[in-house]
Structure 1
Amino acid sequence: MTGSGGPDIEARMQLLEKRVQLLEDHNEIMRLMHSYGPAVDCGLADLVAGLWTHNGVYDVDTGRMDGRGQIEAMVRTDPHQGFLRQGCGHVMSPAHITVDGDAAVALCHTQLILRRSDGDGYQVSRVTANRWELTRTCDGWRVTTRTSRILDGQDEARRIFAGIAGPPS
C-alpha cells in the first residue's frame, strides 16, 4: 500500500461500486416485479405490458402470450375483467434473484386471491411458481420471459424452483 492509499483504495472502490450496482439491480428488479400485481389488479393493460420487452413472453399454464400486444390484450379479456369486477389481488412473495451482468433470473410464488361470490371474505384461487427472466435495456430492467405454473402437485411447477442453489446474488 502506498502512502496515499494507492491501489488498495482503488480496488476497494471498484468492489464497492460493484456491490452498489448489484443492490440497485435487485431493487429495480423487485420494483418491476412487484408493480405487476397492482397494475393488473387495476386493469392498467399498457403498464402491465410495458414490464416486458417488445417481444417478451408470458407463459402461463392457461396459455402463452407472445409480445406486449398479447400481454396487454390478456388484461382486457372477459375472464380478467371478471376478476376485477369480483375483486381480486395478485400477491407475490419475495423473490430469489440472481443477476449475471445484463441478465437476471428471479423465482417467486404468486397467489391469485379472489373475493368470495357471497361477498363474505376472500379465498386463494391459485398459487403458482414463477420464473422471471429479465434483461437490462436502455429503459432499465424488462421481462423477457415469465413462466408461471400452478402448484398442483405436478412436477412441472416444482421444476421452476429446482434451480435455486446457494445464496442469492
Structure 2
Amino acid sequence: MDDMTATFASMLERIQAIEDRLAIQSLIATHPLSADTGAPPLLERIYAEDAVFDRGPGLSGATDRNAIIDMMWCEPHRQAIAGGLAHFGSPPLIELDGDKASAVSYSMLVTPDRDGEERELPNHGMSTGYRIHRVLVNRWTLSRIADDWKIIARKIAPADGAGPALDLLREWAH
C-alpha cells in the first residue's frame, strides 16, 4: 500500500469514528426527550428490540424495548411528566469498538419546587424554582443495527459517592 492509499484509508477510518461518535451522542441526547415525553415512537427509534434497562436497586427495570415503552408510558410516569419532570444529561464519554460501543454519562432529574419560596430573577419573571430529585451515573451499551446506533443496555445508579454508581465509574476508568 502506498503512502497516499494509507493516508486515505486512515482518513476514512477517522471520519467513520467521528460520525459514529456524533450518532451516539445524538442517540444518548435523545434519551431525556424520550423520558420526558414517554413517546413510544421515539423510544422505538433509540432502543434495540432486546434492550435491557437496569434502574438499580429499589426501582423496576425492563428487559426488552416493549417493556421499556410500557415503563415510560405507565400512569405513574405520565404523572411525573405532568408534574414537570425534566431529565438533563451530560455529554457522554464514548468508547468505540467497531459496531459496538460503550459510554458513561451523568443524568439529573429535576422537578418544579411547588413548595419553594417565590422569587424573582431580573428579566425572567417569578418562580418557586426547581429541585434536583436525583443525579445518576449511566452506563450505556450500544450497537450498530442496520446502519443505525441503538441502545442495547442502560444501567443507572444514584451518584452517591459509593456503591453501584462508583463501581460503574471505576469500571469505565479501568
The two structures have a TM-score, normalised by structure 2, of 0.87
Of 17, 38, 50, which aligns to 1:22? 17
Instruction: Provide the aligned C-alpha RMSD in A.
Output: 1.6
Unaligned runs of 5+ in 2: 116-126
In the other structure, the counterpart of 2:70 is 73
Give the drift of 1:149: 0.7
* 1:155 corresponds to 2:163: yes
**Structure 1 residue runs of 4 or more that deviate by more than 3 Å after TM superposition:** none
Q: Return the alpha-carbon distance in structure 1 between the equivalents of residues 61 and 36 of structure 2.
A: 20
Of 32, 41, 48, which aligns to 2:36? 41
1:82 partner letter: Q
Show CA shifts across 1:58-112 (max 9, x none): 1102122011111001111222112111102110001110000110000000000
Instruction: Say if 2:50 and 2:65, in contact at 8 Å, map to a contact too.
Output: yes
Unaligned runs of 5+ in 1: 1-5
Instruction: Say if 2:38 and 2:69, in contact at 8 Å, map to a contact too.
Output: no
In the other structure, the counterpart of 1:106 is 103
Q: Return the alpha-carbon distance in structure 2 between the equivalents of residues 12 and 38 of structure 1.
A: 40
In the other structure, the counterpart of 2:123 is none
Give the drift of 1:139: 4.4
Q: How does 1:85-164 map to 2 (within 5 A)?
A: 85-118=82-115, 120-164=128-172
In the other structure, the counterpart of 1:54 is 49
> The residue matched to 2:114 in structure 1 has which SS?
coil
Instruction: Say if 1:151 and 1:158, in contact at 8 Å, map to a contact too.
Output: yes
Q: Return the alpha-carbon distance in structure 2 between the equivalents of residues 79 and 31 of structure 1.
A: 27
2:46 partner letter: L
Instruction: Say if 1:49 and 1:71, in contact at 8 Å, map to a contact too.
Output: no
- 142-151 or 37-46, which deviates more: 37-46
Aligned pairs, number: 161
Instruction: Say if 1:46 and 1:72, in contact at 8 Å, map to a contact too.
Output: no
Give the drift of 1:117: 2.7
In the other structure, the counterpart of 1:84 is 81
Q: Return the alpha-carbon distance in structure 2 between the equivalents of residues 85 and 72 of structure 1.
A: 17
Q: Return the alpha-carbon distance in structure 2 between the equivalents of residues 113 and 30 of structure 1.
A: 21
Q: Return the alpha-carbon distance in structure 2 between the equivalents of residues 109 and 84 of structure 1.
A: 20
Q: Return the alpha-carbon distance in structure 2 between the equivalents of residues 42 and 154 of structure 1.
A: 31
In the other structure, the counterpart of 1:3 is none
Instruction: Say if 1:48 and 1:72, in contact at 8 Å, map to a contact too.
Output: yes
